[in-house]
């Protein structure tokens, strides 16, 4: 059976939700697979373009989603060369699972947590707690704390101020931060918690009602996936993200530098 026929056979066996994963499993030798948090979608697309311009023989394949879900894909054998998560917890899990090379781990950006409402909302927002308690606020979009970093940040921050129980009673759990953003943008939720960078993508559909202080900084680490067949390219991609060029791209989309830079 030829390589082309084998690849077509692999793709033909894929069904439903696993189509994308199976397609990635047939990745060519010149493809660098980067699994990154959903909130990095726009910025990393531009970073990938810059990388391909500097490395014309390498194609960057981007895989976005909730950090914990991406990690589980990697642990279960999905192809990946680079892992970029939206919190330290997901990367800690990756190190514990021996899914990444520990010494290649570096923080490359920070973000902030905000509460958003639809752009046409007339809610008055004296405080997060008081807004949550309003009877007209019936549905609140929140990333699932079990698998989504923005959900973990939200839960920790609201537990600290004693409002998490009120939020969880009205919560519409989202599979990733972009889904939480979409719920509010479409008016399917009266409020939601996302990163400031995500809120900035839809200024005509959502507005920031409040910035929510977090107990831990919203930090983004990146690392090479253990066993990557493209270790040199993976290191080069991470180096670009950490370089002045990469940092300028991230800043363009509202990300701030990592602590200490």
- pLDDT tens-digit map of 22-78: 434 444 568 999 999 999 999 999 999 999 999 999 999 999 999 999 999 999 999
Query: Does 3-110+218-252 match 113-212 in CATH topology?
Result: yes
Going by DSSP bridges, is the β-strand pair 206-212/113-118 parallel, antiparallel, or unpaired? antiparallel
CB 252 within 8 A of CB 53: no
pLDDT at residue 21, rounded to an integer: 45
pLDDT at residue 127, rounded to an integer: 83
pLDDT at residue 25, rounded to an integer: 44
CB 80 within 8 A of CB 63: yes
pLDDT at residue 19, rounded to an integer: 36
Q: Tell me the CATH class for 113-212.
A: alpha beta
DSSP state of 78: -
pLDDT at residue 29, rounded to an integer: 60
pLDDT at residue 46, rounded to an integer: 98
DSSP state of 225: B
Give me the architecture of the 3-110+218-252 domain, per CATH.
3-Layer(aba) Sandwich (3.40)
Q: What is the pTM of this model?
A: 0.86
Structure-token pair, residue 182: 């979409």
- pLDDT tens digits for range 193-246: 999 999 999 999 999 999 999 989 999 999 999 999 999 999 999 999 999 999
Query: Where in the chain are the domains?
Result: 3-110+218-252, 113-212
**Higher pLDDT pick, 25 / 103:** 103
The CA dihedral of 43, 44, 47, 51, to the nearest 10 degrees, is: -170
């Amino acid at each position: 059976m030829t390589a082309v026929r084998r690849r077509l056979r692999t793709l033909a066996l894929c069904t439903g939700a696993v189509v994308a994963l199976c397609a990635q499993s047939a990745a060519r030798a010149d493809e660098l697979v980067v699994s990154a948090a959903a909130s990095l979608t726009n910025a990393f697309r531009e970073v990938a373009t810059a990388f391909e311009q500097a490395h014309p023989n390498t194609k960057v394949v981007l895989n976005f989603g909730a950090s914990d879900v991406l990690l589980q894909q990697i642990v279960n054998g999905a192809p990946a060369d680079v892992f970029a998560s939206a919190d330290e917890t997901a990367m800690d899990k990756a190190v514990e699972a021996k899914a990444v090379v520990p010494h290649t781990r570096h923080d490359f950006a920070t973000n902030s947590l905000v509460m958003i409402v639809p752009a046409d909302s007339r809610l008055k927002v004296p405080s997060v707690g008081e807004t949550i308690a309003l009877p007209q606020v019936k549905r609140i979009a929140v990333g699932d704390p079990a698998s989504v970093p923005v959900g973990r940040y939200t839960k920790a921050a609201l537990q600290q101020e004693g409002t998490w129980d009120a939020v969880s009673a009205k919560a519409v759990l989202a599979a990733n931060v972009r889904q939480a953003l979409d719920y509010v943008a479409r008016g399917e939720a009266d409020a939601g918690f996302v990163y400031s960078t995500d809120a900035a993508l839809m200024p005509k559909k959502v507005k920031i009602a409040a910035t929510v202080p977090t107990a831990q900084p919203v930090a983004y680490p990146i690392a090479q996936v253990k066993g990557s067949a493209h270790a040199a390219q993976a290191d080069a991609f991470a180096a670009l993200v950490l370089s002045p060029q990469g940092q300028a791209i991230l800043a363009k989309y509202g990300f701030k530098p990592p602590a200490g830079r």
